[in-house]
Chains A and B, each alone.
Chain A
Amino acid sequence: MSEIILPILLIILICYAFIKKAKPFNSFAKGAGTAFDLALTIFPFLVAIFMMIKICEVSGLLEIIANFIAPALEFIGIPKELSMIVVLRPFSANGCFALLNDLFLKYGVDSYIARAACVIVCSSDTLMYLTALYLSKCKVKRLLWTLPIGFAVSLFSGIISCLVCRIF
């Protein structure tokens, strides 16, 4: 059902634009033309962020961090199997999807662990990537407490996800 809604909305949009003589073809081309500059702007920051995330993943640093804070997470209600996903979520979306697949294989798709992991992945987003991307056009030097608040939000999303999956 959800796959139908967006195409229908787009059909309505294009037809409306055509009827109102808003030149959909030219407008579309004009809009699409700006995409190149945007992609070029974000590219350097993507390289820097990916570099940071990949080296942390490959060296096992995130695993060490996850194992280190697992007892603390266990105390606030996040099972230790999910500590890796909670740590990884603010850093990498693709890594999280790979971890999800691993958890599906290990614990079963419909198990509590797997469902809680899915909710964790859906209810928060990749903080580091977003920050770098959104601030790519700005000359910001000091972020104040933005990132710590972001990590607190990701942690909260982990706690809430586990809670919600217990109830539902």
Chain B
Amino acid sequence: MEFFWFLLTIAGMVACLFVNPSLVLPTFTSAASEAISLTIKMWGVYAIWLGFLEILTTTNIKNKLFKPLKKVIKFLFGRVDEETEGYLCENIAGNFLGVGGISTPSGIKACEKLQGDGAVITAGASMLILLNTSSIQLIPTTVIGLRAASGSATPADIILPCLIAGVLTTAFSITLTKLYWHFRNKRLAKKQGVQTSCAKNKKPRKKLFAKMRSKS
């Protein structure tokens, strides 16, 4: 992140010096005031959705509601503790429903728990970020609204292509991330000469018909 920010900011500033040097500082200050107005707007949005999430938590429906997501989370993130699982469920559900106010706060909390204190990014945190980058939106309301406002004959016909594209992009992103971390863990394990974590965490397989055998 440091590298990208450094590269792009310096490149942008240098390019701006060639185009119109007097624009550099006003652009920075207008960017800052945009950030302030967005923060205040987000403060309001987060207040509403964090409030509703708190109600959801106190009523204990959360566990029943998010049961189908637990298998998905186990596949994507491995075994995580209860709290992180809850945050991840909220994040995924929020993304799916297209409500940024739920997914962003939950995503930030989930990332904090997945990352821990390390200076190097963990598999869980990077999977979370890449999962959120490839968004699957059930109904992309903002874009439909824009199309309708510009006079489209069929503004909502974008739903199916978006869904298909979203699913394929998410599949690609999950595959790429899993592959990357698989090869990275393998490489690190080879270097250290230890067993890879996937072998370590494997549950001992239940022997087929063990019960029947023990009874007979």
A residues engaging B (CB < 8 A)?
Answer: 2-3, 6, 10, 13-14, 16-17, 20, 22-24, 27-32, 34-36, 38-39, 41-43, 46-56, 58-61, 64, 90, 97, 100-101, 104-105, 109-110, 115, 118-119, 121-128, 130-147, 149-150, 152-154, 156-157, 160-161, 164-165, 168
Closest to B110 in A: A134
Q: Are B133 and A101 in contact (CB under 8 A)?
A: no
Taken together as a complex, chains A and B put the C-alpha atoms of A32 and B126 apart, in Å, by: 28
Which residues in B have their C-beta under 8 angstroms from that of A136? 108
Dominant secondary structure of chain A at its interface with chain B: helix
Q: Are A55 and B13 in contact (CB under 8 A)?
A: yes
Q: Are A125 and B126 in contact (CB under 8 A)?
A: no
Taken together as a complex, chains A and B put the C-alpha atoms of A20 and B128 apart, in Å, by: 34
Which residues in B have their C-beta under 8 angstroms from that of A121? 143
* Cβ 8 A contact of B35, one of A46, A144, A145: A46
Which residues in B have their C-beta under 8 angstroms from that of A109? 147, 150-153, 155
Closest to A16 in B: B59
Q: Are A157 and B28 in contact (CB under 8 A)?
A: no
Known contacts A59-B13, A141-B2, A153-B130; 5 further A-B pairs (Cβ under 8 A): A27-B51, A35-B43, A35-B50, A38-B50, A140-B118
Contact with A along B150-166 (1 / 0, CB 8 A): 11111101101110111
Pairs across A and B, CB under 8 Å, 19 listed: A17-B59, A32-B47, A32-B51, A39-B42, A39-B43, A41-B108, A51-B31, A53-B31, A58-B27, A59-B12, A97-B142, A104-B146, A130-B133, A133-B107, A134-B107, A134-B111, A138-B112, A142-B121, A153-B133
Taken together as a complex, chains A and B put the C-alpha atoms of A154 and B165 apart, in Å, by: 11
**Chain B interface size range:** 35 or more
Which residues in B have their C-beta under 8 angstroms from that of A64? 15
B residues engaging A (CB < 8 A)?
Answer: 1-2, 4-5, 8-9, 11-13, 15-16, 18-19, 23-24, 27-28, 30-32, 34-36, 38-40, 42-44, 46-48, 50-59, 61, 97, 99, 104-105, 107-108, 111-112, 115-121, 125-126, 128-130, 132-143, 146-147, 150-155, 157-158, 160-162, 164-166, 168-169, 172-173, 176-177, 180, 184
* Cβ 8 A contact of A137, one of B112, B158, B160: B112
Which residues in A have their C-beta under 8 angstroms from that of B141? 2-3
Q: How far is the CB of B115 from chain A (nearest CB, A)?
A: 4
Q: Are B165 and A141 in contact (CB under 8 A)?
A: no
Taken together as a complex, chains A and B put the C-alpha atoms of A49 and B36 apart, in Å, by: 12
Q: Are A54 and B134 in contact (CB under 8 A)?
A: no
Closest to B165 in A: A123
Given A122-B166, A124-B169: A138 touches B115 (CB 8 Å cut-off): yes
Q: Are A130 and B129 in contact (CB under 8 A)?
A: yes
Q: Are A141 and B161 in contact (CB under 8 A)?
A: no
Q: Are B55 and A52 in contact (CB under 8 A)?
A: no
* Cβ 8 A contact of A157, one of B40, B53, B118, B165: B165
Interface centre among B46, B48, B57, B169 (most CB of A within 10 A): B169
* Cβ 8 A contact of B117, one of A130, A139, A145: A139
Taken together as a complex, chains A and B put the C-alpha atoms of A24 and B51 apart, in Å, by: 9
Interface centre among A2, A55, A126 (most CB of B within 10 A): A55
Which residues in B have their C-beta under 8 angstroms from that of A54? 27-28, 30-31, 34
Q: Are A110 and B143 in contact (CB under 8 A)?
A: no
Q: Are B39 and A43 in contact (CB under 8 A)?
A: yes
